[in-house]
Chains A and B, each alone.
Chain A
Amino acid sequence: MAVAGGKLCCMTANATENAVEVRGIVKHFGETKALDGVDLTVRQGTVLGVLGPNGAGKTTLVRILSTLIKPDAGTAYVGGYDVLRQPRQLRRTIGLTGQYASVDELLSGYENLYLIGRLLDLPAKRAKARATELLERFSLTEAAKRPAKTYSGGMRRRLDLAASMIGSPRVLYLDEPTTGLDPRTRNEVWDEVQRMVADGTTVLLTTQYMEEAEQLAHQLTVIDRGKVIAAGGIEELKTQVGGRTVQVRPVHPAELPEMARCLYDSGIAATVSEDTGLLSVQITDDAQLTTVVGVLGTRAFGIASIDTTLPSLDEVFLAITAKPGAPADRIPQKEAVA
C-alpha cells in the first residue's frame, strides 16, 4: 500500500516519538476522584501496560483517551492530536477494544465489520474486502454470517479486536482484553495482539493480570486510586522493589547448614530450606553474587544448580500497591530447576 507507506514516512519525519502523552490528567465523578494527576507516555510502536486493581481508574483513563469523556484538568495527546481540541482527528488514529465499546449483537460478524468500514469512510468495495480479510485473520470466516450474539466469549473478543482494527489504527487501546476468557482463548488474543505490535501498532493495554502485562508489555505504569504509583520497564520495576534472589541447590542437602555458616562468616545472610533443599540469598548487586559463588566454590561444596530470580510481577504489584507502612512481604519465588 503505497499511500500508507507514504503517510508512515511523513509521520515519523514530523510526529513526536510518543504515540500517547498524558500530563496531569484529573477526573472527578461527583465526590470521587477517579484520576488524580496521571502522567504517562507510550512510545511509538511499543506496548504500555497499565496495571492496577479494580477501580484504580484504568477504564476512566482509556475513556478519556478515546474522547468518550472529558478530563477535568491536564492534557492528553494521541498521535499528536489533542483529546479536547482535535477529537475527530484523534478518532481516526485510534482503535478501541474494551468491555463497553461493543459490536451490534443482532448483526453478523461480517455486517458489523462492514458497517464500521463504511463509517470510517472506506469505499464499499474496500470495506467488504477489509471485513473479509479481518474475519479470515481472526479465524471467524466460518461464523461470518452468524449474528454476533451466537458467538462464544473468545469469538466475541476476536470480533471486537477485528472491529478495532478495521481502520488500521496507529494506536490501539485494549481495555482488559482477556478478562473472563479461558486460558486457551486468552492465548489466542495475546497472539493477535503480538502480531499487531509486530506490524507497528502502538498499544495501550490495561489489565489486572501480571501475566498478561509480562507477556505483552514493554513498559509498565502501575496506577492505584487514581495515581501513578510506579512506572518503568518490567525488569526495572522488579529490581526496584527488592533486588534478586540467588538460589543454590547443593548436591548433598546435608551440607546446607554448613554452607550457610560459611556464607555467614563472609558477612552474607542466607536462609536454608530443608523442605526444598535450597539455600537462598537476597542480593542487591552483582558483586554479591560473585562473593556467594566464590565462598561456596573455595570450600568445594558440591553444587547442583544456581539460579537467580527476580521477584514475580505479582509480588512487585502487591509490594507497591500495599498501603504505605504496611510490610511488603516477599515470598521465596519459583523453585530453581536443576
Chain B
Amino acid sequence: MSAATLTPGTYEDQRIGLRSHLRHLGALTRRNLMRIKADPESMLDALLVPIIFTVLFVYVFGGAVKGTQQEYIQYMIPGLLGTTGLNLAMAVGTGLNSDFQSGVMDRFRTMPIGRAAVLLSKMAAETLRGLVSFTILILFSMLLGLEIREGFLHLLAAVGLSLTFGMSIVWISMLLGMSLRSAQAVQGVSMIVIMPLQFGSSIFAPTDTMPGWLQSFTKYNPLSALADACRALINGGALTHSVLIVLIWSVGITAITAPLAVARFRKRT
C-alpha cells in the first residue's frame, strides 16, 4: 500500500487480505489462550465439571436408574459428551460480553482488523478448551469403566457431532453476550437455558417414566437426539436417524440465529 497513490476524492477502501485475516486470527486466538493461562481458575469448569457430573450421576443415581453403575456409565457418559459442545459454546458469549464491556473491543475496532477474526478466535480458543474437557471426560469415565465399544473413530465422530451442535449454539450465545449487560448476566441466562434442556432430555435418564407432557418435550429436545446419537456412536445401535436429527437442528438453529447475531455484531462493531 502506498498512501501517496491516494488523493482525496478516490473512495476505494483497502481490503484486508487473506494472509492478514489468518495473522489476526492467530494473534487473537493466542490472546484468548493467554487469558486462560493468566486466569487458570477459568479452566476449572472445563476440568472439573466433567468429573463432578460423572461422579455425581454415576454414584448417586446410577444404581437407581439403570440397576448397575457400569450400565449407567455406558448410558449417561455419551449423553454428557454430547452436551460438552453446548457448554463451551455458551462460554463464547460470556467472553464476547467482557470484551465489549472492558473496552478491548473498541480498541480492536479502531484498528484495521477483520471483524470475523475477533469472533473466530473466540470460537477457536473455546474449542481448544472444549477438547481438554472432552479428553478429561473420556479418560476419567474410562477409568470408571466406560467401554469404547465402537472404536476410536466413532468416538471422534461423537466429539465432532457434539462440536457441530455446539457451533450452532454459539450464535445464540453471541446474541446473549451482546444483548445482556454483564458477563454474570450472560452466564446466569445461559444456565437457565441449558439446565432445562439438559435435564429435560434423555441424557441422564430414560424418558419412559416421565409424565406425558415432559415426554413430548424430551422427544423434540435436540439434546435427546444428540445423546442418542452419541450413545449409538459409542455403544453401537441405530445411528442414522438421531444423527440426522442433530444435523437438521444444527442447520436450523444456525440458519435462524447466525444472521441475527452477525447483524447485531456488525451493528455494534
Residues of A with Cβ closer than 8 Å to B?
A: 7, 10-11, 13-16, 66-68, 77, 79-82, 85-89, 91-92, 94, 96, 98, 100-108, 111, 115-116, 118-121, 147, 163, 167
Q: Which residues of B contact A105 (CB under 8 A)?
A: 102
Q: In the complex the two chains form, what is the Cα distance from A104 to B30 in whole Å? A: 13
Interface residue? B7 (CB, 8 A):
yes
Pair B106/A100 contact, Cβ less than 8 Å = yes
Q: Which residues of A contact B143 (CB under 8 A)?
A: none
Pair B34/A100 contact, Cβ less than 8 Å = no
Pair B11/A86 contact, Cβ less than 8 Å = yes
Interface centre among B23, B111, B112 (most CB of A within 10 A): B111
Q: In the complex the two chains form, what is the Cα distance from A108 to B31 in whole Å? A: 11
| 6 tightest A-B CB contacts, nearest first | A102-B103, A10-B4, A118-B27, A106-B38, A101-B106, A91-B112
Residue of B nearest to A106 (CB): B38
Q: In the complex the two chains form, what is the Cα distance from A33 to B261 in whole Å? A: 29
Q: Which residues of A contact B4 (CB under 8 A)?
A: 7, 10-11, 13-14
Pair B7/A86 contact, Cβ less than 8 Å = no
Q: In the complex the two chains form, what is the Cα distance from A119 to B102 in whole Å? A: 19
Pair B8/A68 contact, Cβ less than 8 Å = no
Q: In the complex the two chains form, what is the Cα distance from A241 to B102 in whole Å? A: 41
Q: Which residues of A contact B31 (CB under 8 A)?
A: 104, 107, 111, 115
Pair A91/B107 contact, Cβ less than 8 Å = no
Q: In the complex the two chains form, what is the Cα distance from A101 to B102 in whole Å? A: 8
Q: In the complex the two chains form, what is the Cα distance from A165 to B35 in whole Å? A: 23
Interface residues on B, range: 35 or more
Interface centre among B20, B26, B108, B109 (most CB of A within 10 A): B109
Q: Which residues of B contact A98 (CB under 8 A)?
A: 106
Q: In the complex the two chains form, what is the Cα distance from A100 to B35 in whole Å? A: 20
Pair B27/A88 contact, Cβ less than 8 Å = no
Q: In the complex the two chains form, what is the Cα distance from A89 to B12 in whole Å? A: 10
Q: Which residues of A contact B231 (CB under 8 A)?
A: none
Pair A104/B104 contact, Cβ less than 8 Å = yes
Given contacts A11-B3, A77-B8, A120-B112, contact A106 B23 (CB under 8 A): no
Pair A16/B8 contact, Cβ less than 8 Å = yes
Q: Which residues of B contact A103 (CB under 8 A)?
A: 104, 107
Interchain residue pairs with CB less than 8 A apart (6)? A80-B3, A88-B13, A89-B14, A104-B104, A107-B31, A121-B23
Q: How far is the CB of A163 from chain B (nearest CB, A)?
A: 7
Residues of B with Cβ closer than 8 Å to A?
A: 1-4, 6-8, 11-16, 20, 23-24, 26-28, 30-31, 34-35, 38-39, 102-104, 106-113
Q: Which residues of B contact A16 (CB under 8 A)?
A: 8
Partner of A102 from the list B15, B23, B106 (CB cut-off 8 Å) is: B106
Q: In the complex the two chains form, what is the Cα distance from A163 to B111 in whole Å? A: 11
Q: Which residues of A contact B20 (CB under 8 A)?
A: 121
Residue of A nearest to B113 (CB): A119
Q: How far is the CB of A150 from chain B (nearest CB, A)?
A: 11
Pair B110/A118 contact, Cβ less than 8 Å = no
Q: How far is the CB of A70 from chain B (nearest CB, A)?
A: 11
Q: In the complex the two chains form, what is the Cα distance from A13 to B104 in whole Å? A: 36
Q: How far is the CB of A145 from chain B (nearest CB, A)?
A: 11
Residue of A nearest to B26 (CB): A118
Pair A85/B110 contact, Cβ less than 8 Å = no
Pair B3/A15 contact, Cβ less than 8 Å = yes
Pair B111/A120 contact, Cβ less than 8 Å = yes
Q: In the complex the two chains form, what is the Cα distance from A94 to B110 in whole Å? A: 8
Pair A67/B110 contact, Cβ less than 8 Å = yes
Pair B35/A104 contact, Cβ less than 8 Å = yes
Pair B109/A163 contact, Cβ less than 8 Å = no
Partner of A86 from the list B13, B34, B35, B39 (CB cut-off 8 Å) is: B13
Pair A101/B103 contact, Cβ less than 8 Å = yes
Q: Which residues of B contact A66 (CB under 8 A)?
A: 110
Q: How far is the CB of A117 from chain B (nearest CB, A)?
A: 9
Q: Which residues of B contact A92 (CB under 8 A)?
A: 1, 14, 112
Q: How far is the CB of B209 from chain A (nearest CB, A)?
A: 47
Residue of A nearest to B24 (CB): A119
Residue of A nearest to B8 (CB): A80
Residue of A nearest to B103 (CB): A102
Q: In the complex the two chains form, what is the Cα distance from A116 to B106 in whole Å? A: 13
Pair A107/B108 contact, Cβ less than 8 Å = no
Q: Which residues of B contact A116 (CB under 8 A)?
A: 107, 111
Q: In the complex the two chains form, what is the Cα distance from A77 to B23 in whole Å? A: 29
Pair B113/A101 contact, Cβ less than 8 Å = no
